[in-house]
Amino acid sequence: MVGRDDQRKWLVEDLTRSYSGETKVILIMGMGGIGKTTLENEVYNDVCIHSHFDVCAWDTVSQQHNVKEILLSLLHSTNGETFGMNNEAELANILQKNLKGKRNLTVLDDMWNSKAWDDVRLCFPSENKESGILLTTRNNELARYVGTENLFVTPCILG
């Protein structure tokens, strides 16, 4: 069985490897309680991640997602500011401007469905090379919908 440290190293190497093209999406899929978020947190806090990416942002999406709350959380992660009464379109525009031209890693933890993915994915600049999105989900259908070639199914590792 592969240990969590090996998984963390593999994910960090994959996210920091030079590549061109669209933003890399890596999806960590598995049952609840097996350590997806813990693994994602270890990757997110890895020193190599923070030295490679200009901007790192994290949001827990959850089953009852709220796009405005997701955008506000990501914006706060990117620049520490708190935004007031902006609507979703304005917030998405601000997020795109904050991320454009910067290598960024965005973590979307606990995404439950394709609607949440559709609501959020277009808020990221498409031309940002060497940027990544790291998703966790329990949902096999979401994994197929996202269509990522970088599907990472976590084995049952609890410790």
pLDDT digits (tens, 9 = 90+) for 36-68: 899 999 999 999 999 999 999 999 998 888 888
pLDDT tier for residue 157 given thresholds of 50, 70 and 90: very low
- Cα–Cα distance measured from residue 118 to residue 110, given in angstroms and rounded to the nearest whole number: 15
**Cβ neighbourhood burial of 63 (10 Å; 0-12, 13-18, 19+):** exposed
Q: Which of 124, 147, 132 is nearest to 13 (CA)?
A: 132
- Would you say 117 and 70 are in contact if contact means Cβ atoms under 8 Å apart? no
Domains of the chain: 4-153 (3.40.50.300)
Q: What are the tens digits of pLDDT across the range 78-124?
A: 877 777 767 889 989 888 888 888 899 999 999 988 888 988 888 88
Q: CB neighbours of 24 closer than 8 A, spacing ≥ 6?
A: 14, 15, 131, 132, 133, 150
The pTM of this model reads 0.86
Q: What is the DSSP letter of 63?
A: S
List the structure tokens of 74. 């990501």
Q: Which of 15, 37, 17 is nearest to 109 (CA)?
A: 37
| Interior angle at CA 90, CA 88 and CA 91, nearest 5 | 65
